[in-house]
Each structure stands twice: as structure tokens, then as C-alpha cells.
Structure 1
Amino acid sequence: MNFYQSRTFIGLFASLLAMGSLTACASGTIGSGGQKSDFQAVTTDAPSNNLCGQLTAPLTEPEQEYAATAWQYFVNNRQPDTGFINSANQFPSGTLWDQGNYLMALNAVRWMGLIDQGEFDLQLNQFLTSLGDLPLVEGALPNKVYNSATGEMVDYGNNPTKKGLGWSALDIGRFLTALHIVRTCHPQYDNWISGLMSGWQIPRSIKEGQLYGAVFKSNGQLLPVQEGRLGYEEYAARGYELWGFEAPKALETEPMKLVNVSGVKIPVDQRNFEETDANNYVVSESYILEAIEFGWDETLAEYAEAILTAQENRYKETGHLTAVSEDNIDQVPHFLYSTLYANGTPWAVITEENESHSELRTLSTKAAFGWYYLFPQKPYTLKLIKAVKELQDPDGGGFYAGLYEESDEINAILTSNTNGLILEILYYKALGNKPILDVIEH
């Protein structure tokens, strides 16, 4: 069970909850066993990094409304006893990736003016306090998933487990990037955050220059498992690099091949499902995250433009607007990878187990937002943003995950991933369409 499967199972239970099959727990106590923090709460009197607030392209009125809508998801899904965020609406479970989404959203709304420094400090102080109390797998690294209401390690059914399930190196990489951006924009928190990270045994998630998650075998032993394929592997390794942890093989694009998809050669990881039991899917999100946080180098820029062009070509071929990524869905099987390519098949729509569900392909809201703001001059990306900008919960709970291609019905599930990425994208835009780290560190 790897990083992606954790998102699959959380999506399943969140969808059941939305249908009234589960009841969410909204209170409890934080579990013990993690790294306790000796740092005191930080106050509003401390200085921040003003570079983070130099918005050279302030949000338009519609964009301010987008930001307010996306932020409401986090208002509604922040747990009062821990400060952690639910991965999906009103379901008290979350991964480290989801908490990274929240930190990026919290930083974005602070600088875009949706909250003031006092509210930011209140939320971050509680979050970091709870983070310091998290129980860790073998006392080393965070579990794959936690009860967001209590801070307990849980399994994929949100049932407490004392030893945990293992850890995800990709989640850790995402979270390290978010923490680094927070400590850079708010240096008054640097000592506290760095102290917390010193309590994690991060080198245990790196082996021979690659990223390694871990799972428990049937005999109870913890088994290291290489994590990541082209796109996410490089993105996560960049997060490690920000903290001085090197994973050079994970940063390489090899082993890679170019595959023709809708008349365009796109990059595909050569490690396949049959040999590794891991999918080599190509989706939009990893390229979007890399662009808005780190910036693309020349090679990644070429790959990303090819990936966007292939999706535009599919629209020309089929008449269906195409912006694909992985997403929770509001029906069985609850989480799908709508891909450009996976396991030898162009435009595959699959589960983690490589089961096909092409009838449930979606136009992804987060992918449409991302491609529009990365390529705002392209007529195709304007079509994308127009198709998704109104996909908002009428009760003000955030943006829905997308539209089903076949039925044209809304994929009416609310998640931290969709709404967090939208807020990140809007912050990138407000910084003048410049990578966040380029702006705040220079």
C-alpha cells in the first residue's frame, strides 16, 4: 500500500461519509509518542519576510472570490482540537500531503489578505503544537494517515493503530516543501519548525539516492519500498533538497522514454506495473506543483508544454475538454487516476490496482486552474478555466473536484487537494506568475 493508495482509501471513506454511511468524529485528544516541541507560541510582534507579500499582480475581483471560496473549505474542515485538516469534506482523516496542502493555503491567504497575521499565528501555533505531539512510526517518521480530529495514527478505515501503517516518502517531500515555504515567509517560526524536523529520522526515507516509503509486512517487520515515478518523484526530492537531504537518483528523469499520445511525444517512466507493481501514470498535478513552487527548468518546461498540448489535441479529436489528473470522485471506486498515459495505454483512467474506468474520466478543476495560470495566453486554457470556475458548492464549502466527461455531471466532492492547489495557484499569480520559491528567497 503506497502513497497513492492512502489517497484512494481516504477518498472511499469520505465518499461514504458524504452519502451518510459514516459519522465523523470531531473531537478527541492528540496521541502521544511523537517529538515534543520545547518552543513557545510565536506572537504577531515578530517580523515576517516582506518578499512574500510583494504581490505584483494583485488578484482581480473574480479571483478574490475564487480564493475566498477555496479557503472556505479549510475553514470548514480545520479540526478544533488539533488544527489539522480533513483530506475530504467532513471526514476526520488526513495524510501528511493533505497537511502540506493546508500549510500552503494558510500561507497564501495570509499574503493575499484573506486573514490577518493574528489569525495566521493562531492557526499555525496550534498546528505546530499538534505536529510536535504526533506519534511516529517506530518513533522515526509520520504514519501514512492520521485521524485529523485526534492526531492518532490510524489505518485506512480511520481505526486507531498503535504501530501505524508505515510512511510515504512522497508525502514527506511535499510536507517539507510546505514547511520550508512557511519558515521562509515567517522566519519567526524557523527555530520551532526546524526543531520539530530534527525529531524526525528523515534519512531513513532515502536509500541509494532514491526515496523510500515503508510498509509493515505480515510478520510485523517494516519493509522499505521505493516510491515515486517520473513527475512526483522529482517533485518530492526537491522538497528533501530544501532541507539538505540529497536523493540524486530521484531527481533524475531516467529511466524515461518518449511516447506518442495524441500526436505529441510525452515523457513516460519506463518502470512499468507488471515489473514493479506500481503505476507509471502521467498526470497534470506534479508538473503544476513543480512550476508554481520551484519553477521548471528547460527540460521540464518542454515536457509540461507537451503534456498540455496532448490534452488540447485530445479536445480537438473528441470535443471533450481535457485536463486530467488524479482525483477523489463521489462514487465507486472513489479515487481515480485520469491520465494521459498509464501502463502502456494512452488516456487510461485507472484505480491503484490498474482497473480501468474510462467511463468515469473527469475534467479536473485543479488541473484546469493550473494550466490556465501557467499558460494564460493560450485560448485552450481559457476554455478550461471557463468550464470549471463555477464548480462551487452552493453552500460555500469550496470548489468541487471536477466534471464527469461522459455524463457532464459535477464530481461533487470537496477536498483539500483541489482547494489547496487553487489557493497556491492564485498566490503564484499574485506574485506575478513567478515560482513561489524564486520570489520569497531572492
Structure 2
Amino acid sequence: MQRYTALIFIMIWLQGCGLIYQGVQSSASGVSQSQLFRQGRHGELSEQELAWANTAWRYFSNNTQLSSGLVNSIDNYPTMDMTSLADYLIALQAAKQFELITSREHDERLTMTIDFLANMPLTRQGVPNKVYSTSHRGMVNYANQPAELGWSAVDIGRLLIALAITKQKNAQFAEYIDKAVLRWNFCNLVSDEGELYGGNISSNQVHRYKEGRLGIEEYASYGYLDWGIIPHRNINLEPYKVITINGIDLLFDGRDPRFTDVLRPVFSTPYLWLGLEFNWDDIDDLNSSDANHSNKSLAAMADSVYLVQQSRWEKERIYTARGEHVVSGEPYFVYDAIYALGTPWITVAEDGSSHDHLALVSTRIAFQMWALWKTAYTDQLLTLVQEMYHPQRGWYEGRYENSSAYEKSITLKTNAGVLEALLYKSNGKLYRANDDKEYRDVRFNSRFDHPGKCLMETFR
């Protein structure tokens, strides 16, 4: 219970000051009142749904590097980032539960993954590199050349969440996971002011930058909260602005990109992860009901993100399930934004360039919205994407909005996303508050063997 006492106090204090809920209440109150309409899908998987899961797991069977136990982020390309590692851990839990693999294979796969975490080379700042080779486990750049590239505090936050879920489902591995994470220097990930910082390393120079935007930084903060680190600035929704699309208020990041150098698209992914993994609850919440959400602000924002996409179908007859995705050619990766750069329904690359012809109905987003909102619209989305797979390779990225053509890229993120949606249907929210004493608690309470590295015992 010590682990969450300080967290509960801080979250109550923030809400009492109006930093989390009252600041968005006026612009999201209409959406908040729609909570009663949400009824996620729950229950044992049907034969059809198990077949969907089996198709998704084909990706992992094909893309596991036997020498390392790691899985390629993109089909047949031997690199992996920390978000991909997180996705794999959640997919592995689904594969075990749905009996797509044996208990022995699950044990071997998880053991090899934890062994990688315990021994992987870290950047000079003592944190995971952005990219690793899945064949030799070394640090590489996006071209798969040896390189110390830098780090992403957001990706690491996602990994911390997946590791917490893994420990809760596999308590016998908790000690080893804690030992691996205790190697990291959190001082370089969260500033004294409570902001997440990423870093780029180029020509032996380190450039640190504030990382995240509204939605994704709140999500990533949950990973740090699990370790007792309070990223104050990143769990505070301010600054934000409001845009109204089809009569629905949508919050977006209020920071000026000219000064922050951070793209600010509104897209589905972080709000869906917050639903699938936390049910839009605060991290210490023991609630198991799908209908109630202790973090009402994030729940309202998720509702608006879903409803505005449904409204586009209702008003314009354009099927919409928007996230980020890879494409087969340049620019290779885009955000299908609900709103970005002052424009609704724009598709943007990392450099801010527009590529609207690349917008997809995302397979992953369709499955996850279907799991979280039991509506006629999400039924239609599933009908639209349920045949978009290669029977031996896994699920395709999506269907182009303009032409209905398939984007035939096959990625870990999409196939793990399908498995996560089905795991949520079977289990409800994936993260559960845990008061059990763990290895890290012993270290945090030690006068002589405290790990330091900005892991503060005052939060335990």
C-alpha cells in the first residue's frame, strides 16, 4: 500500500486544484455526459475471434529472431524500438491466454526478452536506445547500422506499462524485470519540473528535447507513475485548445510548434491504449467496471475522439478509424490526424508535410474501437477490415480512405494491436493496481542499497 499512498494524495491534490478535470470540464462536459452510452465488448472469444488472434500471432511466429528472442518491428526487417518491445510483451500475454503457444514456449520467449532487458547496451545517459537490432541485440539506427541514436521517454513509458502488466500476470518474473529496469537512469527521462525528455545523439552531441503532446504524454506518464515517479507537467492537461468538428469539442495540444518543435496531431492511439489498459481510470484505481472511469477528463477526451470519427461517417459517409501507420514508400510513416496544423482530417509526416492520399482506415484502430465501444459503427468498421490479412503473415496496416485499396505493409504494432483488443474483450482492462511487495520495494526501502537515479523513496 505504501507504493500508492503518495500517488493517491498527489492525484487528489491535482484534481482538487482543477488541473486535471475542471480545466476541461466546460469544453468536454457534453462528451462526459455520454459515458452511459459506452459499453465495451466483454466475454470469451468466439471461434471467429480466436481465428483473428491466430492470424495476428502468425506475424510473431514469422518475425522472431531465434538468436535473440526479439521480434522485428516491421515484417522481415531486423530492428525494434521500445514501443515494439512493449507491444510484443502484451501480444505474448494474449498468445498464452488464447493458447496460441504452449506454457513452455511462453516461458522461453519471456525469459529471452527479460534477458535482453537485463543485458542490452544503454546509451551514455544510462537509458535504452531508440532502436536495437533484433538479430545481434546491439544499438542501431533506423537504417540498421550500429549507432547510439538517443532515447524516447514516451516509448520507454509505454514499455514500463507493458512490463507492469507482464509482472502482474507473471509474478514469478517480477524480480528479474525490476532488476533490469533498475539499471536505467531516470534522471535523464523526467526533468526536475516533471516533464518527459527525449534525446537525439548525433556527431557525438546530445540534444535533449521536451517529448510528447496532449494524449500520448498523459498515457506515457502512467508508466512512470507505476515506478513512483510523478511527471507533474505531463499529467496536467494544460495547455490545451479546443476545436469543434461536427458539433463535437475536441481538445488538442496548445503549445506552439514553432517554439516546441513537436508535431501536435490528434489521433486515436493514446486514448485507445488508456482505455484498453487502464479503462480511463487513475493508476491506483481498483475499479473493475467498464461503465465507470475515475479519470473523467481522459474518458471524456476518448469519447470525443471516438465520436468525431463516427460523426464523419454519419455526415460525410467516410469510414474513419485514424491512427499512425507505416506506408510502403516515402515518407514511410505518417499520422492520420483527426486534427493537425489547423486542419481536420489531415495526414502528416514527422516533418509536417501533408500526405492526405495516404490516409487509412486502420486495421488496428478499427479493432480497438470495436473492443471499447459496442456500437453499430464499430460493427461496420470490423466488417470493413476483417478480411484484410495474409493467412500466413498477419494483418495488413489498413484500407486506403480514397480507394479502398489495401496498404499491405505488415507490422508488429498492428498485429499486437489486434491481440490487445481481443485480450481486453476477454479480460477487461489489462493493468491492475498491485499492492504486493516486490524486489524494487526492498531496494527503495534500503538505507544502504537504494538505487538512486532519481527513483525517490519519498514516493514509496
The separation in 1 between residues aligned to 2:433 and 2:123, in whole angstroms, is: 36
What displacement does 1:313 show?
1.7
Tell me the CA shift for residue 133 of structure 1.
2.0
Per-residue CA distance 1:78-126 (angstroms, 9 max, x = gap): 1111111111100001101101110010012212222222111111111
The code of the aligned residue for 2:387 comes to: E
Deviation digits for residues 335-359 of structure 1 (CA, Å, limit 9, x no counterpart): 1110100121111101000101111
Within the alignment, does 1:404 sit opposite 2:389 as a pair? no
Residues 395-434 of structure 1: pairs in structure 2 closer than 5 A: 396-431=392-427, 434=428
Q: Deviations over 1:138-172 (max 9, x none)?
A: 160111111111111111211112xx011000110
CA shift in 2, pair 1:117/1:139, >3 Å: farther
The answer to whether structure 1 residue 270 and structure 2 residue 254 are counterparts is: yes
Does structure 2 retain, via aligned residues, the 8 Å contact 1:273–1:343? no
Matched residue, 1:44: none
Letter in 2 for 1:181: I
1:224 matches 2:208: yes
CA distances 1:170-198 after superposition (whole Å, capped 9, x unpaired): 11001011111111111111111111111
Q: Map 1:292-441; keep pairs closer than 5 Å.
A: 292-296=276-280, 297-376=295-374, 378-394=375-391, 396-431=392-427, 434-438=428-432
State which of 114, 132, 147 in structure 2 corresponds to 1:128.
114
SS in 2 for 1:267: strand
Distance 1:439 1:109, change over 3 A: farther
Structure 1 counterpart of 2:195, from 202, 210, 229: 210
Partner of 1:89: 75
Q: Which residue of 2 aligns with 1:106?
A: 92
Matches within 5 A, 1:106-185: 106-138=92-124, 140-161=126-147, 164-185=148-169
SS in 2 for 1:196: helix
Contact 2:118 2:179 in 1 (8 A): no
| Structure 1 residue 410: Cα displacement | 0.2
CA distance in 2, matches of 1:258, 1:301: 16
In 2, Cα distance between the equivalents of 1:75 and 1:439?
31
Q: Distance in 1 between matches of 2:178 and 2:267?
A: 32
Cα distance between partner residues in 2 of 1:257 and 1:342:
12
The answer to which of 123-132 and 57-66 deviates more is 123-132
TM-score by length of 2: 0.80
Give 3-state SS (helix, strand or coil) of 2:311's partner. Answer: helix
Following the alignment from structure 2 to structure 1, what is the Cα–Cα distance between the partners of residues 304 and 345?
14
- Letter of the structure 1 residue corresponding to residue 155 of structure 2: D
Structure 2: state its 5+ residue gaps.
Answer: 1-40, 281-294, 437-460
Code of the aligned partner of 1:424? E
Cα distance in 2 for residues equivalent to 1:279 and 1:441? 38
Superposition deviation, residue 427 in structure 1: 0.6
Runs of 4+ aligned residues of structure 1 deviating over 6 Å after TM superposition are 439-442
Query: 2: distance between equivalents of 1:242 and 1:322?
Result: 33
Which 10-residue stretch deviates more, 98-107 or 55-64?
Answer: 55-64
1:200-238 CA-to-partner distances (Å, cap 9, x unmatched) read 1123200010111111255x2322211000111000010
Q: For 1:229, what is the secondary structure of its paired residue? A: coil
Alpha carbons 2:164, 2:431 under 8 Å: kept: no
* RMSD between aligned residues: 1.7
SS in 2 for 1:122: helix
Number of residue pairs matched by the alignment: 381
Q: Percent identity?
A: 35
| Structure 1 pair 95–383 and aligned structure 2 pair: CA distance change class (3 A) | same
Q: Which moved more, 1:197-206 or 1:312-321?
A: 312-321
* Corresponding residue to 2:183 among 199, 224, 238: 199
- Cα distance in 2 for partners of 1:245, 1:358 equals 39
Task: Give TM-score, length-normalised by structure 1.
Answer: 0.83
Alpha carbons of 1:217 and 1:118: their partners in 2 closer, same or farther (altered >3 Å)? closer
The separation in 1 between residues aligned to 2:298 and 2:78, in whole angstroms, is 36
Number of the residue aligned with 1:68:
54
Give 1:281 shift.
0.4
Structure with bigger RCO (C-alpha 8 Å, 6+ apart): 2
Q: 1:414: Cα distance to partner?
A: 0.6
